[in-house]
Amino acid sequence: MLKQTPSQTIGPFFAYGLTPEEYGKSGIWSGILVNDATKGERIRIHGQVIDGAGEPVTDALLEIWQADHDGRYHHPSANEKEVFQGFGRRSTDENGMYSFMTIKPGRVPATQQRKQAPHVNLIVFSRGILVHAYTRIYFSDELEANNSDPVLQSVDHKRRATLIANRDESRAVPRYNFNVHLQGRHETVFFDV
């Protein structure tokens, strides 16, 4: 077995390389995952990244990876007719805020008997984080599915709420609020993926 190449921090200056649209260059991915052909309910996932002092993290990079409306990932082994790419990338703004325009994903298989609750996989990078941190965004209006989700149920119940995005119906496009707390009393659950 070869040894893995160590991770290093993304540092403070990644934006012109990884989200170059902020510099007037074309990027491969953005925070908008939908187009006219995309099936499913349009949602916005919105929130803030917060450090251990309660301050906004203004130089984080967030990547999301999610299934389509029918619970399928757009992957080389998947059906090529899929139009939903399922991958998005955004950096936080000067207030530590981020936002993705996407669809609510369907349920993905866990084992042959069970399905996972709808969720979005989230990867967090920033200066001061030496290995990117993985978490999952679940949805507050999926109570029944959440209660049977094997990953969510593997998390200490006292910390489970850090993985649930709260639905806000007050806007034209329903919004799910999901803050990422890197440390502190409400530290987000991160997984050893």
Residue numbers 121-180 binding other proteins by CB under 8 A: 121, 123, 125-134, 136, 150-151, 154-155, 159
Query: What is the smallest separation between the CB atom of 179 and other proteins, expressed in angstroms?
Result: 14
Determine, following the binding rule CB under 8 A, whether residue 23 of this chain makes contact with other proteins: yes
Q: Which of 56, 70, 87, 141 forms a contact with other proteins (CB under 8 A)?
A: 87
Comparing CB distances to other proteins, the nearer of 27 and 168 is 27
**Helix/strand/coil for 178:** coil
* Beta-carbon contacts of residue 129 (< 8 Å; ≥ 6 apart): 9, 10, 182
Work out whether 86 is an interface residue with other proteins (CB under 8 A): yes
Q: How many residues bind other proteins (CB under 8 A)?
A: 74
Question: Are residues 127 and 10 in contact, defined by beta-carbon separation less than 8 angstroms?
Answer: yes
Three-state DSSP at 47 gives strand
Count how many residues are written for the chain.
193
Which listed residue (8, 81, 157, 170) binds other proteins by CB under 8 A? Answer: 8
Q: Could you say whether residue 32 binds other proteins (CB under 8 A)?
A: no
At 15, is the secondary structure helix, strand, or coil?
Answer: helix
**Residue 134 identity:** Y
> Please, which of residues 88-107 interact with other proteins by CB under 8 A?
none
Does 83 participate in binding other proteins (rule CB under 8 A)?
Answer: no
Q: Is 110 in the site for other proteins (CB under 8 A)?
A: yes
Q: Is 29 in the site for other proteins (CB under 8 A)?
A: yes
Ramachandran angles phi, psi of 87, nearest 5°:
-125, 130
Distance of CA 129 to the CA centre of its chain: 17
Which is nearer to other proteins, 169 or 192 (by Cβ)? 192
Pairing of strands 42-50, 180-181: parallel
Residue 160: CB minimum distance to other proteins, A: 11
- Binding to other proteins in span 36-65, by CB under 8 A: 51-53, 55, 57, 59, 63, 65
- CA atoms of 32 and 43, how far apart (whole Å): 11
